[in-house]
């Protein structure tokens, strides 16, 4: 079953409902097309209902979706997405909010529509990394392209990727993700440290992180994504 798309323009938002088996490339194209439609019509707010989609994109796909949303929908005031609760990762939400787009993910249409219809009360705060992951990212971000994105998944895993679509060896738009996990003892040490101590601990992990990157290929298949365990 291919993905089906239904658009209904309501008084205060455009309702886009998708059903069927997940097709990432088609979903990216839909976001691009909806961006053009909303810009041409002057729409202000948008609801993406993905609750009828069968399947879930991998981490790199989620980051790719976040990038596409930012590229195509940044002219909108608010974008709400509905996803089954068990599939919510907030990866695309984190990327979009970090780039200034007011995107929020909800488990029900009722919650999403309620938020879309709220009056403006200031921009929402993006979901930030916790202090431990933020300190590690500050230390290792110079190892990656300037436009690399790092997000913290609900599991606590740090995921790193970046756009590679224009590279000759790229099979997809995003680099194969690197995921970073912290051993429990390291996490406890960093949680109990002050800011300066966290910085020193993070700096001491750079060599271990570099070793974990050896042989990494940003263009390999996603199932062979690199996992680095620190601590």
- Hey, what CATH class is 4-116 in? alpha beta
Give the pLDDT band of residue 118 (cuts 50, 70, 90). Answer: confident
The closest alpha carbon to 161, from 99, 218, 81, belongs to: 218
Residue 213: pLDDT over 80:
yes
Beta bridge mates, 151:
159
Instruction: Find all residues with CB under 8 Å of 197, minimum gap 6, and list them.
Output: none
Give the pLDDT band of residue 17 (cuts 50, 70, 90). Answer: very high
Q: What angle do CA 161, 164, 168 make, to 5 degrees?
A: 145
The closest alpha carbon to 61, from 196, 174, 199, 158, belongs to: 174
Report how far residue 125's alpha carbon sits from residue 149's, in angstroms, rounded to the nearest whole number.
17
Do 54 and 84 form a contact (C-beta atoms < 8 A)? no
Q: Which sequence spans correspond to the domains of the chain?
A: 4-116, 131-230
Tens-place pLDDT, residues 123-164: 444 446 788 998 999 999 999 988 888 888 777 888 888 877
Q: What angle do CA 28, 176, 69 make, to 5 degrees?
A: 25
Beta bridge mates, 80:
47, 104
pTM of the predicted structure, to 2 decimals: 0.62
- Cα–Cα distances (Å) from 67 to 9, 174, 200, in that order, read 25, 9, 32
What percent of the chain is predicted at pLDDT more than 90? 36
The closest alpha carbon to 211, from 185, 230, 192, belongs to: 230
Average pLDDT of span 168-191: 81
Give the pLDDT band of residue 212 (cuts 50, 70, 90). Answer: very high
Do 98 and 69 form a contact (C-beta atoms < 8 A)? no
């Amino acid at each position: 079953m291919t993905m089906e798309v239904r658009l209904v323009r309501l008084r205060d938002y455009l309702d886009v409902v998708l059903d069927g088996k997940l097709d990432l490339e088609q979903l990216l194209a839909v976001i691009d097309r909806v961006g053009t439609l909303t810009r041409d019509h002057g729409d202000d707010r948008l609801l993406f209902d993905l609750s009828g989609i069968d399947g879930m994109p991998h981490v790199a796909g989620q980051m790719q979706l976040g990038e596409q949303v930012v590229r195509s929908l940044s002219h909108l005031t608010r974008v709400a997405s509905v996803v089954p609760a068990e599939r919510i990762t907030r990866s695309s939400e984190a990327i979009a909010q970090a780039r200034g787009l007011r995107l929020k993910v909800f488990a029900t249409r009722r919650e999403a529509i309620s938020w879309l219809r709220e009056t403006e009360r200031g921009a929402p705060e993006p979901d930030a990394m916790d202090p431990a992951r933020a300190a590690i990212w500050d230390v290792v971000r110079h190892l990656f392209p300037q436009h690399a994105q790092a997000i913290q998944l609900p599991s606590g895993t740090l995921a790193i990727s970046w756009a590679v679509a224009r590279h000759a060896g790229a099979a997809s738009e995003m680099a194969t993700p690197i995921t970073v996990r912290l051993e429990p003892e390291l996490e406890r040490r960093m949680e109990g440290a002050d800011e300066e101590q966290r910085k020193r601990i993070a700096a001491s992990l750079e060599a271990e992180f570099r070793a974990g990157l050896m042989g990494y290929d940003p263009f390999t298949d996603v199932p062979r994504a690199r996992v680095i365990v620190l601590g």
